[in-house]
A and B are shown apart, each in its own frame.
Chain A
Amino acid sequence: MKGWSVARPDNMSGKGNAAGPHDSQQAPLLVAPGEDLGDSEGYEVGHGVIVMDGRLRATKQGQMKKDGKSVSILPSRTKYFPRPGDLVIGLVEGCTNNIWFVDIGAPFNAILPMSLGPAKMEFGGTRSVIDIGEAILCRVQEVEETHSSVVTMKGMGLRKIRSGTVEDIDPHLLGRLIGRQGKALRQLKEDTECRVVAAENGRIWIDGDFEGMLEVRNRLRKMTAEAKAATPGGVA
């Protein structure tokens, strides 16, 4: 258990925490969906928390975080949710005469209009520039209220991926991959002599010689396995 607090069936009700959210300063508190986190009065609701009948309730499985007056859940596993400005690696799933449909690993596909594409082209010439099945490095330009998003390839370093390989990791493991001030990622690049681009949607572009790419891939898989073993909740 490694000192993690676990709710037992006898403290599933709100009786034990009527005074407000648990103080997460000492040990991170693990919560499951629906768990009562205390009285909502005076607290701001963060990610993974809702207010029901004046009480704070967890909506996700993970660690409860209390930052001043804000209470949130750091989920053990979550789907990538696009935000404007995110660097993402997308896979082109389809296209029309002037739009590409791009899978960015989010709940809904993004669109890449011809005007935001990598080069000037004739109307109807989308497939000649980026074909279906190809991978692109792009940036999220806009996320609408209905959660459909627009990506752009106008910007420094944004391009079609022509070489190397794309690996997937869970988006919440990116912090572990990049490390403090990018130290871990820099070290990985130096060790393997590969170009490694970590996109916010958990897709990693690896480019270099074959041995180096294999090494990066093995390290990513090892990291995922280690995170899975180390995380209470069993999921990485």
Chain B
Amino acid sequence: MGYGDVQMIDENGIRVDGRKAGDVRPISIELGVVPVADGSCRMTWGTNEVIVAVYGPMEAHPRKIQRQDRAVLDVRYNMAPFSTSDRIRPGFNRRSREISKVTSDALESVVLLELYPRSKIRVEIEIICAEAGTRCVGLTAASVALADAGIPMTDLVVSVASGKINGVVVCDLNKSEDNYGEADLPMGILPNSGELSFLQMDGDLSQEEFQEAWDYNMEAAMVIGGYCAEALKNGGYNL
């Protein structure tokens, strides 16, 4: 069987994990899981599990990183060595550096950094268990943890990835769909305004498929944004 021949969706549109094309994996959100942090969040999304801790705003050290007009957002995404079946070598690598950068850029568009000139907000994203779409879970959990820390934001950021498997566009890819699928479109969406804060694409999608994936992501982001808001108000959310 070739790389693209793995059957991941049947003729009734049911995926390997029993979901339909537009379904999102179960989500639960817990706040205040790191008592020493200013804000924290544990999010489970399917089999993914991530803990995010936010510290600050605090004095930015070393001084050369200080910005005179706004705060610096220092985001670190890290996968625990035991988070996947293949052991991950501890420490920063090229992938975690890239994801830290895109997460930071996505959050900068919503956090009111200009209120805290010359200071730093530290966001630590730790992936405990990885299935697929950890950058999406990390970004969503980071925005909830920032809100939990009382950092002023214009909106939350909810990230979802849709993609193509066996020629069908589906929402929220799981591990096998991510590995053997044809394309992947993660997006960071502001649920209240419907604006976009980040978009990446891996693989090829036609214009129609892109539109379909976009619509799935938008629809899912609005619903997940509601879960996040509810979690912030109630101290957690469990679907």
Contact = CB atoms under 8 A, between A and B. Distances in A.
Interface of A: 1, 4, 6-10, 12-13, 30-36, 48, 50, 52, 57, 59-61, 75-79, 103, 107-109, 146-148, 228, 232-235
B226 interface: yes
B212 interface: no
A208 B233 CA distance: 39
A77 B39 contact: yes
Interface string B196-239: 00000000000000000000000000110111111011111000
B59 A235 contact: no
B119 interface: yes
B126 interface: no
A107 B117 CA distance: 9
Contact of B150 (A36, A79, A228, A232): A79
Contacts of A30: 233
B148 interface: yes
- Name which of B38, B110, B156, B229 has the most chain A CB atoms within 10 A of its CB: B229
27 contacts: A6-B230, A7-B229, A7-B233, A9-B222, A31-B233, A32-B232, A32-B233, A34-B153, A34-B190, A52-B193, A59-B153, A59-B154, A60-B147, A60-B152, A60-B153, A61-B147, A61-B150, A77-B148, A77-B149, A107-B59, A108-B119, A146-B68, A233-B232, A233-B233, A234-B234, A235-B31, A235-B39
A55 B59 CA distance: 33
Interface in B49-72: 56-59, 68, 71
- Name which of A31, A34, A60, A76 has the most chain B CB atoms within 10 A of its CB: A34
B150 A76 contact: yes
Contacts of B232: 32-33, 61, 233
Given A12-B225, A235-B148, A228 B192 contact: no
B80 to A, nearest CB: 25
A12 B222 contact: yes
Query: What 4 pairs across the A-B complex have the smallest Cβ distances?
Result: A234-B235, A9-B226, A34-B155, A107-B57
A32 to B, nearest CB: 4
B193 A77 contact: no
Nearest to A13: B192
B112 interface: yes
Contacts of A76: 150
Given A6-B230, A147-B118, A32 B147 contact: yes
B112 A59 contact: yes
Nearest to A75: B150
Interface string B88-107: 00000000000000000000
Contacts of B155: 33-34, 57
A52 B154 contact: yes
A25 B40 CA distance: 31
Contacts of B226: 7-10, 12
B191 interface: yes
Nearest to B58: A107
Given A7-B226, A33-B155, A233-B234, A77 B118 contact: no
B118 A234 contact: no
B191 A34 contact: yes
A233 B116 CA distance: 24
A61 B222 contact: no
Contacts of B147: 32-33, 60-61
Nearest to A231: B235
Contacts of B233: 4, 6-7, 30-32, 61, 232-233
Interface string B143-162: 00001111011111000000
B35 to A, nearest CB: 10
Interface in B17-65: 31-32, 38-39, 56-59
Contacts of B223: 9
A1 B230 CA distance: 11
Contacts of B117: 146-147
